[in-house]
Amino acid sequence: MSELTVTTWNINSVRLRIESVVAYLQKHQPDILCLQEIKATEDVFPYEPLREAGWPHIAVAGFKGYNGVAIISRVPFTGSGVMNWCGKEDGRHVWAELKGKTKIHNFYVPAGGDEPDPAINPKFEHKLQFLSELTDWFSERASPKAKRIMVGDLNIAPLEHDVWSHKKLLKVVSHTPVEVEAMARLQDSNGWVDAVRHFVPETEKLYSWWSYRAKDWSGADKGRRLDHVWVTPPLAKKLKSAEIHRHVRGWERASDHCPVAVTLDLL
């Protein structure tokens, strides 16, 4: 295999949208699809349609009702597992290792609620604690040779042009300075490279999420880039392309997020 395409997608219920997942896999042919907010436990996860479509290797961190993440692959794993953070078993992190010791970490970072103040909002406190624990964990395991890919709905749009209005969203959860600073510390923990911005200038508007509240989401285009693919420096040299599949947001019964795909040349 000379190329590896990894896609991340907050599916907002995998059972509700399994037909869309299979359609996406068949149309775009990613080697690995990482899903967040699957809203399913392992016992009800729809394994069979994915295996029948040609993606038989599946690792799931399920959760009842909400949360949950999964890695779906046509490339075999040499290992996989689930990790929990902040003392909660809430299905926010699953990992898988590929041949050649490339490890993929799929995260669903807490959204953080509405009020960006940890003193009065436990959900925002949880988000900041989650990011802090990830930063410490990756910092302790930092290595110049580590081949790691971090993907997921990180629930932060860090750059000015990752949101439709930097000025209007500075006090809105997902774009506040405290979150952006926490994300920067996480990025520094392993020298992570933002694989999408590696190809798209920071001056260009770029979104992966559009609210259901907008009647014409595409026309209004009030989006945020909440979904990310990061790679460590040894893999940054292998980056070949990146694409946000905006058109999927317009599919029938779509998730409010769209897939984000990155291709690496492993030769």
Q: What is the pLDDT of residue 266?
A: 79
- 72 token code pair: 């779906």
Q: How far apart are CA 249 and CA 174, in angstroms?
A: 20
Contact 142, 188 (CB under 8 A): no
Average pLDDT, stretch 229-238? Answer: 97
Q: How far apart are CA 54 and CA 195, in angstroms?
A: 26
Q: What is the pLDDT of residue 166?
A: 98
Q: What is the pLDDT of residue 2?
A: 83
Q: What residues form DSSP beta bridges with 209?
A: 224, 257
DSSP 175: S
Q: How far apart are CA 63 and CA 44, in angstroms?
A: 10
pLDDT at 1 over 80: no
pLDDT at 267 over 90: no
pLDDT at 163 over 90: yes
The 3-state secondary structure of 135-157, one letter per residue: HHHHHHCCCCCCCEEEEEECCCC
Q: How far apart are CA 38 and CA 158, in angstroms?
A: 24
Select from 19, 22, 27, 25 the least CA-distant residue to 7.
25
Q: Is 169 helix (H, G, I), strand (E, B) or coil?
A: helix
Average pLDDT, stretch 174-184? Answer: 98
- 149 token code pair: 């890919």
The set of residues, in sequence order, having a beta carbon less than 8 Å from that of 169 and lying 6+ positions away, is 157, 163, 175, 224
> What is the identity of the amino acid at 162?
D
Q: How far apart are CA 215 and CA 237, in angstroms?
A: 41
Mean pLDDT of the chain: 97
Q: How far apart are CA 103 and CA 175, in angstroms?
A: 28
Q: What is the pLDDT of residue 260?
A: 98
- 203 token code pair: 């001056």
Contact 239, 262 (CB under 8 A): yes
Q: What is the pLDDT of residues 74-108, one digit of tens each?
A: 999 999 999 999 999 999 999 999 999 999 999 99
| CA atoms within a 13 Å half-sphere pointing along the CA-CB vector of 97 | 10
Q: What is the pLDDT of residue 165?
A: 98
Contact 229, 195 (CB under 8 A): yes
Chain-centroid distance, C-alpha 259 = 9
CB atoms within 10 A of CB 177: 10
Q: What is the pLDDT of residue 219?
A: 97
Ordered by where they begin, the domains of the chain are 3-265 (3.60.10.10)
Model confidence at 65, in pLDDT bands (50, 70, 90)?
A: confident
Q: How far apart are CA 164 and CA 99, in angstroms?
A: 40
Q: How many residues does the chain have?
A: 267
Q: What is the pLDDT of residues 5-42, one digit of tens each?
A: 999 999 999 999 999 999 999 999 999 999 999 999 99
% of the chain with per-residue pLDDT over 90: 97
